[in-house]
């Protein structure tokens, strides 16, 4: 039996893992889907004071409260920033990091670091105006029909304070952990392009591909579940 901690990406919440959790439970694993402060069912907590550290604290609190040891921590998209900071803080509590089409930062980088200049400008403008970043069109994640409508209904603004918040961490400490990157490339989300190249250049990465869009927990849950179960068996 393994313990999974699932960390969603921007604009999402624990709700996005709805098609993954039953399969993990059925296989005998424990799985905890975290909703980060200011998003999902915690959207009422949205404030200018939310930082990357707030979200790292959210996940660390679950690990502490559930007394998890050797957890497989999965971070989707922006969640890659969060799980990297978590791994720097408590590496002894983590068995593997799984970056699900996620940001893989280097020390001193922020979520915004890998984004094109136009994306940075648009998001900073939104943050200056409202304190948050409005949700992306689910079509950008390769979703259509009922899936796109479901995601559009559930998405909430992303706290603006996390966008340019640099993450400082001990790279050697994080790189000592087993790390998996799952590349979802049909269609490939442009803001993950730098990460896709990075993990293929650096040693120590296990890389898998799923021919689906950026939200595989919604568009390809069976294939994603298979990879997560394989990570538990490794």
User: What is the pLDDT confidence band of residue 53, given thresholds at 50, 70 and 90?
Assistant: very high
Give backbone dihedrals phi and psi of 116, rounded to 5 degrees, phi first: -60, 155
> Which pairs from 123-132 meet CB under 8 Å and 24+ separation?
123/163, 124/163, 124/164, 126/160, 127/160, 127/163, 130/157, 130/160, 131/46, 131/47, 131/48, 131/159, 131/160, 131/161, 132/38, 132/46, 132/157, 132/158, 132/159, 132/160
pLDDT score for 167: 98
Determine how many CB atoms are found less than 10 A away from the CB of residue 153: 9
pTM of the model as a whole: 0.97
Q: How confident is the model over 88-128, as pLDDT tens digits?
A: 999 999 999 999 999 999 999 999 999 999 999 999 999 99
Over the range 164-183, which residues count as b (16 or more CB within 10 Å of their CB) and which as e?
ebebebeeeebeeeebbbbb
| Rounded average pLDDT over 12-28 | 98
Is 77 among the catalytic positions? yes
pLDDT score for 15: 98
pLDDT score for 134: 98
pLDDT score for 130: 97
| Rounded average pLDDT over 32-59 | 98
pLDDT score for 184: 98
Mean pLDDT of the chain: 97
Per-residue pLDDT for 220 more than 90? yes
- Give the span between the Cα atoms of 52 and 159, in whole angstroms: 9
- What domains, with CATH codes, occur in the chain? 3-233 (3.40.50.1820)
pLDDT score for 213: 98
Catalytically annotated residue among 47, 77, 110, 112: 77
User: What is the pLDDT confidence band of residue 234, given thresholds at 50, 70 and 90?
Assistant: confident
Q: How confident is the model over 153-211, as pLDDT tens digits?
A: 999 999 999 999 999 999 999 999 999 999 999 999 999 999 999 999 999 999 999 99
- Give the span between the Cα atoms of 120 and 35, in whole angstroms: 25
| Rounded average pLDDT over 127-132 | 97
Q: Percent of the chain having pLDDT more than 90? A: 99
Per-residue pLDDT for 133 more than 90? yes
């Amino acid at each position: 039996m393994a313990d999974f901690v699932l960390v969603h990406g921007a604009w999402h919440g624990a709700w996005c893992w709805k098609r993954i959790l039953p399969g993990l439970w059925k296989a005998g694993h424990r799985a905890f889907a975290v909703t980060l402060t200011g998003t999902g069912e915690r959207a009422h907590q949205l404030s200018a004071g939310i930082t990357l550290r707030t979200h790292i604290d959210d996940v660390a609190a679950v690990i502490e409260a559930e007394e998890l040891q050797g957890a497989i921590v999965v971070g989707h998209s922006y969640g890659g920033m969060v799980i990297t900071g978590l791994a720097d803080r408590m590496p002894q509590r983590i068995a593997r990091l799984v970056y699900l089409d996620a940001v893989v930062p280097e020390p001193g980088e922020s979520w915004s670091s890998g984004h094109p200049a136009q994306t940075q400008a648009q998001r900073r403008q939104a943050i200056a105006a409202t304190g948050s970043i409005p949700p992306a069109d689910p079509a950008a994640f390769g979703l259509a029909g009922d899936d796109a409508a479901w995601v559009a209904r559930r998405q909430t603004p992303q706290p603006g304070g996390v966008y340019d918040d640099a993450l400082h961490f001990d790279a050697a400490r994080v790189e000592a952990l087993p790390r998996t990157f799952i590349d979802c490339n049909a269609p490939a989300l442009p803001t993950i392009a730098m990460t896709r190249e990075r993990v293929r250049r650096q040693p120590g990465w296990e890389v898998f591909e799923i021919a689906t869009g950026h939200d595989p927990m919604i568009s390809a849950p069976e294939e994603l579940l298979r990879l997560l179960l394989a990570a538990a068996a490794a």
